[in-house]
Amino acid sequence: MRKAIETLKNIWKIEDLRQRILITVLFVAIYRFGSYVVLPGIKPDMLAALHKQTSEGLLALLNMFSGGAFSNASIFALGIMPYISASIVIQLLGIAVPYFQKMQREGESGRRKMNQYTRYLTIAILLVQAPSYLLNLRAQIGANTFNASVDNWTMFLVTSTIILAAGSMFILWLGERITDKGIGNGISFIILIGIIARFPDSLIQEVVSRTASSAGGLVMFLVEIVFLLFVTAAAIMLVQGVRKVPVQYAKRIVGNKQVGGARQYVPLKVNAAGVMPIIFAQAIMFIPITFIGLAEDPSQMSGFVRALTDHTSFWYNFVFAVLIILFTYFYTAITINPTQMAEDMKRNNGFIPGIKPGKKTAEYLDDIMSRITLPGSFFLALIAILPAFAGEFKVQAGFAQFFGGTSLLIIVGVVLDTLQQVESHLLMRHYDGLLKSGRIKGRAGVAAY
């Protein structure tokens, strides 16, 4: 306890770190305040039907990502997920389309162009999702939910679409400011705050449900907490898991001194992609909700499409798991470059014992990455679909989302990254870190010294 208090004092002493934390808190407060600002023309006290609709199923998960803004008919109802969907499309185009491949090779200017295209695509997605949300709102809660001033539905649809699109773009701006001026990882941090905001209500509902039940009661609740801690520990191991490949540095002469010869290690992570595959896959799984919302009669849609809107169904979890595995390989391929790693080793007179420098080293590293990514992707997919199994044991839908799944993995990944940022600031100024070892491994896979 004394060490924790001392660490907090050290954090407060570092002016730059203190300012970043305060700025992050300010932007988070603005985001949470906006989640309760209801769209103009809607009666807040008539949203009970929408709250009921978002209490279970895939809409409950979507509501969690928005921090409850979705069920509040807030100006931030669509959240940050449209931007995530747009990012997926642009990154895929960067692999398949030569024009976008060329932009990726242009360095900083190309990155700015890619970001600009991502924003344009985000707006296009919002212009589809916003009317879908409003049409669903009208179908669920009826015309009596709107104020008397809303006598022109078409005008309300147009103005509310603009407001919803502007709200999501403002959230994107807040995330970027947290990245630049705050603690970092702004977009992921926004998602994290939305998830954590739903945890207290979910926990209370689960306690009430278990105490009211005659089957197990508090004993079953304690079993759930133990299992939740076990899954959390497994998620941390997955995010931090590192395989060390030995690298022997050749001896060389600098001046009159002989240096080198010490064995170093290349840290290759079991899950080098972090939580991005599960965020990408979840964004794709939200697409059917958009089309069902636009359909005049959702009950007429095919059984397979309806199954994709039920996060407990077999087909939803099967498709979700496959997407996670594919995105794990995809994101690992764009973040880890074995050829560049091999060239860097060769340039620094390093080599892997028994492997020729250059092309052979690149092939060896690529083979190692493929081998360790496969079990990592399967483990990531398994943790992602655990909430469906939790639901089979009568765990409340909201609380079940924390038994693995997107929620838990995002919490673990973003919290570790944030702690790594704070750790780096402390150690750069010669303060003790957050742990006795002085190191926290985030998603980057390299300890912060």
Each residue of 123-134: pLDDT tens digit?
Answer: 999 998 898 888
- Does pLDDT of 445 surpass 50? no
What kind of fold does domain 17-199 have according to CATH? Preprotein translocase SecY subunit (1.10.3370)
- Does pLDDT of 254 surpass 70? no
What's the burial of 110, exposed, middle or buried (CB within 10 Å: 0-12/13-18/19+)?
Answer: middle
Residue by residue, DSSP assigns 135-201 as HHHHHHH-GGGB-TT---HHHHHHHHHHHHHHHHHHHHHHHHHHHHHSSS-HHHHHHHHHHHHHHHH
Dihedral (Cα; 270, 272, 273, 275), 10-degree rounding: 60
Options 1.10.8.350, 1.10.3470.10, 1.10.3370.10, 1.10.3720.10; CATH for 216-449 is 1.10.3370.10
> Residue 158 — left, alpha, or beta (φ > 0 → left; ψ -120 to 50 → alpha)?
alpha
Predicted pLDDT of residue 106: 81
DSSP annotation of 78:
T
Q: How confident is the model at residue 166 (pLDDT cuts 50, 70, 90)?
A: very high
- Does pLDDT of 104 surpass 50? yes
Q: How confident is the model at residue 301 (pLDDT cuts 50, 70, 90)?
A: low
Domain ranges of the chain: 17-199, 216-449
Dihedral (Cα; 70, 171, 41, 60), 10-degree rounding: 0
- Higher confidence at residue 439 or residue 304? 304
Predicted pLDDT of residue 243: 63
Predicted pLDDT of residue 165: 94
Q: What is the mean pLDDT of the chain?
A: 78
Domains 17-199 and 216-449 share a fold: yes
Q: Which residue has the tokens 């199994």?
A: 389
- Read off the pLDDT of each residue in 432-436 and give the average, rounded to a whole number: 56
Give tens-digit pLDDT for 266-293: 777 777 777 778 878 888 887 777 666 5
Q: How confident is the model at residue 118 (pLDDT cuts 50, 70, 90)?
A: very high
Range from 205-219, 283-297, 376-390, 415-429 carrying the lowest mean pLDDT: 283-297
Q: How confident is the model at residue 300 (pLDDT cuts 50, 70, 90)?
A: low
Q: How confident is the model at residue 29 (pLDDT cuts 50, 70, 90)?
A: very high
DSSP annotation of 42:
B
Report whether 134 contacts 158 (CB < 8 A): no
Distance CA 360, CA 12 (A): 49
What's the burial of 26, exposed, middle or buried (CB within 10 Å: 0-12/13-18/19+)?
Answer: middle
Give tens-digit pLDDT for 38-68: 888 887 777 777 777 777 767 777 788 888 8
Which residue, among 311, 322, 245, 241, has the nearest Cα to 280 in the 3D structure?
Answer: 322
- Higher confidence at residue 122 or residue 186? 122
Predicted pLDDT of residue 263: 65
* Highest-scoring range by mean pLDDT, 163-167, 223-227, 270-274: 163-167
- Read off the pLDDT of each residue in 309-325 and give the average, rounded to a whole number: 85
